[in-house]
Structure 1
Amino acid sequence: MSELAHTQPTPPPFDGLHGSSRSLAMLAVSLSVFLALLDYAIANVALPDIARDLNASASSSIWVVNAYQLASLISLLPLAALGSKVGFARLCRTGIMIFMVSSLMCALAPTLPLLAAARVIQGIGGACIMSVNIALVRFIYPHAEIGRGIALNGVVVAVGVALGPTAAAAILSMASWPWLFWINLPLGAVALFMAFKALPAVPRSTQKSDVLGSFLCVLALGALVMGGDGLAHRSGLALSVGLMVLGVACGLLLVRREHGLAQPIFPVDLLGKPEFAVAFVTGFGGFVASNFYIVSMPFTLHDELGLGSALTGLLITPWPIGIMCAAPVVRRVADTVSAGVLSSIGLSVTALGFILLWLLPLQPSVFDIAWRTAIAGWGFGFFQPPNNRAMMVAAPHTRAGGASGLVQVARQAGQAVGAMGVAAFFVQFGHEGARACLLAASCVAAAAAALSASRLFMRN
């Protein structure tokens, strides 16, 4: 194990870009992130069409979504470690190219298994981009302005996720579902051009690659997610428990194998820093709460309130609008006011928005739903950038890749656990499950706000 560790050279001073170089570099990051996140959400709307055209069942067609999400989550940390070695910009460009090739494969897939396999490759390409995007932001912006860059990145994330269903509906109104993937080719070409033109070269790690460690990391996260999903659906309980045990065992082996390494794939040493650990768990909790809302709210609107699909989609829109409205405010204060203050306020407002949605009258107006959703979204947009900034500045520059990977793990693992929670609530409570999820979302957001506030009592 010791032969894997190498002494890290002292990196040259690097305190961000300035002027047009910074603007172009941030545009390159934003385009690549937008590409990955737009396609994360865009396929959901087309699942019925895909199932019909490929002669597949509705339940099996869900793997078009699950394959992308699972591949992305389990590859994040190994790819973040790889980015530290080969360069964040190079990995981002590689991810865009993988994304474009896999999009071509998706568009041409004649069967559901081949489409799901192409989506796995696409998820890996997306993870190449997402695993290093925050690390790139850290090197694009000077240390004193990192919060501004992370806030802008948060807006891009919100817009990408929000536009997915809308873009899919617009494309499907004019063309067949393969065009959801054909559209990635021109978008990817623009993102790739900007990535080659503007992304900065940053110091690289000299540590030897750990292939076995990467395999253990993938196996641990994959087994935990699949086992947790089985438990949530109460299907194959013995297999699900076995997968959970396997995931924990692989995780422990990984931590033991990489103990003392300068650049571990699973950066448990960063989680040993109290300020980093609190920010990580706070971020995880925030995304658990958000997915309780995001996954369950369409069922509340469609099944409980009897709203049509178009209006249901429209009434989800105040969530990303709220996030975008928070960005100008949080950008001004993210670098000067502590995350313990800002993220706690944001999550408290999010919890308030969710509880107000839970308390909706039996026959609410469109406005009743919209303003409550916007409040929750504004709070979420106010919470994310300071919390992500806290994680990045708590890690040294030489660990930017690992920190960036954990930022994304907190997001995607939180989303996965939130979706599992919704499934468990639906199994337990039936038709009442959707409304119960809103109460659960509020409780989880409030707990995350309390954890975030604990930073105010930490010793500097």
Structure 2
Amino acid sequence: MELFTDRPGDEGLPGRERGFAMAAVMTMATMSVFDGSMVNIALPQIARALDISAGAAVWVSNAYLLSASMALAIFAAMASHIGFRSIFVGGLALFTLSSLGCALSSSLDVLVFMRVLQGIGAAATLSIGPAILRSVFPTRLLGRILGLNALSIATSTAIAPVLGGTILSALSWQWLFAINIPLGIIAMTLALRVIPANPAATRQPFDFAGAVLSAAMLGALIMAADAFSRPGADDLATAVTFGLVAVLAGVAFVWRQRHATKPLLPLGMFASSRFSLAALTSLASFVSQGITFVALPFLFQSVYGYSAFVSALLFTPWPLGIILAAPHAGRLADRYPAAIISTIGLAVFGVGLLLLAQLPEHPQFWDIGLRSFVCGLGFGCFQSPNNREMLSNASRENSGYASGVLAIMRTFGQCLGAAVVGVTLSVYAANSVIQEAHAVKLSLWIAVMATGLAVAISVSRLRGQRHDLQEEK
């Protein structure tokens, strides 16, 4: 296989060791996908088992998301001080041990605390996963390996709901966390063997003030999005308060990064228009995906009347489309401009969302699946070339930071998308299926508009790319 074949002048690790590093990174990515999707399915069962309300059970999910989001930028920066292997293996160990703690939890407080630790461990690995792949694979294979990474995540997304439902039908919810333990041990063994020990270590001081401001900004944004997604005047006041905290912390963070000797996030990376536009394109596209992934279950179950299991099956064509498109898109991005490939993918993704927004009142099963499949094809064609564009337009010493930015764009895009659906349902949906259907369709149309914005940003970078090529000539 060409991914593991050495050529003269190749950077990174020898072919066989690349395979082990790829397996470690993708195993952790699979664990994080499983942990999110399957745990969400188990929330009603957890609520009954711990004798808590459904609203309290939601914090089993929110605690993980909140802690992971707050730590992403911090771990991306720490990688330049103590190296990829230390961060990745430490994060894996924390994630695996806290998974055991989740499985042994007998109260909500303990479970939420363990989920916070899980989120921190996940942030440590996910913030630098793409950067590790860049460090161990030669540049000529970067698009292909990022495509395979997207393929791995899409496959996990496809089977997670079905696997979670199967486990819950035969075993207790604790087993959803217990399955992480053997996977974590395997990934740690591989990571300790092949991931470079200290590829970019530095003795410069760590930006603790920037880390605190970053955590405050990102955490407040998540809390504001969560509050906006719930109805009620008190929730609106909470959302506004957290929003103001996020803005103030964000302003202070930017000021700090401009004046720090060794900033947490080098703002010079964003001087590259291709990097900045790829990051903005990623943010807008994940807003669209976040809206759709939250809105469609309401459409399938509340409006069309399908069961939760059938709704999970209706989602399957989406990751299937990613599975089919992502490896080929990554391969094409190694041969042709990645921005062109990702723009084409975004356009196809937008067409798929437009088709979903125009679903009839009583669609056929295959009709829903076909429209979702078009979305998956488009997103699979977009994601890995766009990730390649981001990473290849940051220097190798900044690859850890660039990987963190990539993870932040994905996380906050999805959070903002979820908040949009929550606000739409709160404002337009009452105790009527017709009104709820209207709110869900409106959410899908907002997703179409967000994708249109992503396409416009992506097209603007094509013009900039042509200008750069003309200057080089």
- How far residue 395 of structure 1 moved from its aligned partner, in angstroms, is 0.8
Segment of structure 1 superposing worse, 56-65 or 159-168: 159-168
Q: 1:215 aligns with which of 212, 215, 220?
A: 212
Deviations 1:147-196 (A, max 9, x none): 11111111122223333222211211211001111111111111111111
Aligned pair 1:252/2:255, yes or no? no
RMSD (Å) for aligned C-alpha atoms: 1.6
Helix, strand or coil at the partner of 1:221 = helix
Unaligned runs of 5+ in 1: 1-12
Aligned pair 1:92/2:88, yes or no? yes
- How far residue 338 of structure 1 moved from its aligned partner, in angstroms, is 1.8
- How far residue 264 of structure 1 moved from its aligned partner, in angstroms, is 2.4
1:90-169 alignment, distance < 5 Å = 90-169=86-165
Structure 2 CA distance, aligned partners of 1:267 and 1:72? 21
Note if contact 1:220-1:246 (Cα within 8 Å) is conserved in structure 2. yes
Aligned pair 1:230/2:227, yes or no? yes
Deviations 1:74-93 (A, max 9, x none): 11000111112111122111
Aligned pair 1:299/2:298, yes or no? yes
**Residue of structure 1 in register with 2:195 after alignment:** 199
Segment of structure 1 superposing worse, 231-240 or 28-37: 231-240
**Residue of structure 2 in register with 1:453 after alignment:** 459
- How far residue 261 of structure 1 moved from its aligned partner, in angstroms, is 4.7
- How far residue 262 of structure 1 moved from its aligned partner, in angstroms, is 6.6
Segment of structure 1 superposing worse, 47-56 or 106-115: 106-115
**Residue of structure 2 in register with 1:378 after alignment:** 377
Deviations 1:108-158 (A, max 9, x none): 111112211110100001111101101001111112221111111111222
Is the alpha carbon distance of 1:115 and 1:83 closer, same or farther for their aligned partners in structure 2, counting shifts above 3 Å? same
Deviations 1:45-75 (A, max 9, x none): 1101100010110111111111111111111
Note if contact 2:228-2:422 (Cα within 8 Å) is conserved in structure 1. no
Structure 2 CA distance, aligned partners of 1:336 and 1:260? 40
**Residue of structure 1 in register with 2:40 after alignment:** 44
Note if contact 2:20-2:191 (Cα within 8 Å) is conserved in structure 1. no
Amino acid at match of 1:449: V
Structure 1 CA distance, aligned partners of 2:384 and 2:200? 24
- How far residue 407 of structure 1 moved from its aligned partner, in angstroms, is 0.4
- How far residue 207 of structure 1 moved from its aligned partner, in angstroms, is 2.4
Helix, strand or coil at the partner of 2:300 = helix
Structure 2 CA distance, aligned partners of 1:16 and 1:263? 26
Structure 1 CA distance, aligned partners of 2:75 and 2:416? 22
Helix, strand or coil at the partner of 1:233 = coil
**Residue of structure 2 in register with 1:356 after alignment:** 355
Structure 2 CA distance, aligned partners of 1:264 and 1:337? 34
Amino acid at match of 2:359: L
Amino acid at match of 1:136: I
Task: Give the length in aligned residue pairs.
Answer: 448
Note if contact 1:319-1:378 (Cα within 8 Å) is conserved in structure 2. yes
- How far residue 361 of structure 1 moved from its aligned partner, in angstroms, is 2.1
Deviations 1:415-450 (A, max 9, x none): 000000110111122112112222221221122012
Aligned pair 1:181/2:196, yes or no? no
Note if contact 1:343-1:449 (Cα within 8 Å) is conserved in structure 2. no
Unaligned runs of 5+ in 2: 1-8, 430-435, 469-473
- How far residue 211 of structure 1 moved from its aligned partner, in angstroms, is 1.9
Note if contact 2:345-2:381 (Cα within 8 Å) is conserved in structure 1. yes
Amino acid at match of 2:230: H
- How far residue 14 of structure 1 moved from its aligned partner, in angstroms, is 8.2
Amino acid at match of 1:17: L
**Residue of structure 2 in register with 1:411 after alignment:** 410
Structure 2 CA distance, aligned partners of 1:192 and 1:206? 26
Structure 1 CA distance, aligned partners of 2:42 and 2:226? 23
**Residue of structure 2 in register with 1:420 after alignment:** 419
Note if contact 2:147-2:331 (Cα within 8 Å) is conserved in structure 1. no
Structure 2 CA distance, aligned partners of 1:294 and 1:239? 25
Helix, strand or coil at the partner of 1:62 = helix
Helix, strand or coil at the partner of 2:413 = helix
Structure 2 CA distance, aligned partners of 1:27 and 1:186? 14
Note if contact 1:319-1:374 (Cα within 8 Å) is conserved in structure 2. yes
Amino acid at match of 1:216: L
Structure 1 CA distance, aligned partners of 2:421 and 2:31? 27
- How far residue 239 of structure 1 moved from its aligned partner, in angstroms, is 3.0
Structure 2 CA distance, aligned partners of 1:322 and 1:244? 36
Is the alpha carbon distance of 1:181 and 1:286 closer, same or farther for their aligned partners in structure 2, counting shifts above 3 Å? same
Aligned pair 1:437/2:443, yes or no? yes
- How far residue 313 of structure 1 moved from its aligned partner, in angstroms, is 0.7
Note if contact 2:326-2:383 (Cα within 8 Å) is conserved in structure 1. no
**Residue of structure 2 in register with 1:327 after alignment:** 326
Note if contact 2:288-2:448 (Cα within 8 Å) is conserved in structure 1. yes
Query: Where in structure 1 do 4 or more consecutive aligned residues deviate above 4 Å?
Result: 260-263
Structure 1 CA distance, aligned partners of 2:384 and 2:327? 11
Is the alpha carbon distance of 1:262 and 1:372 closer, same or farther for their aligned partners in structure 2, counting shifts above 3 Å? farther
Structure 1 CA distance, aligned partners of 2:358 and 2:224? 33
Structure 1 CA distance, aligned partners of 2:29 and 2:308? 28
- How far residue 381 of structure 1 moved from its aligned partner, in angstroms, is 0.7
1:256-267 alignment, distance < 5 Å = 256-259=255-258, 261=260, 263-267=262-266
Note if contact 1:301-1:307 (Cα within 8 Å) is conserved in structure 2. yes
Query: Given the two structures, how large is their TM-score scaled by the length of structure 2?
Result: 0.91
Amino acid at match of 2:225: G
Amino acid at match of 1:450: A
Aligned pair 1:55/2:26, yes or no? no
Segment of structure 1 superposing worse, 439-448 or 202-211: 202-211
Helix, strand or coil at the partner of 1:395 = coil
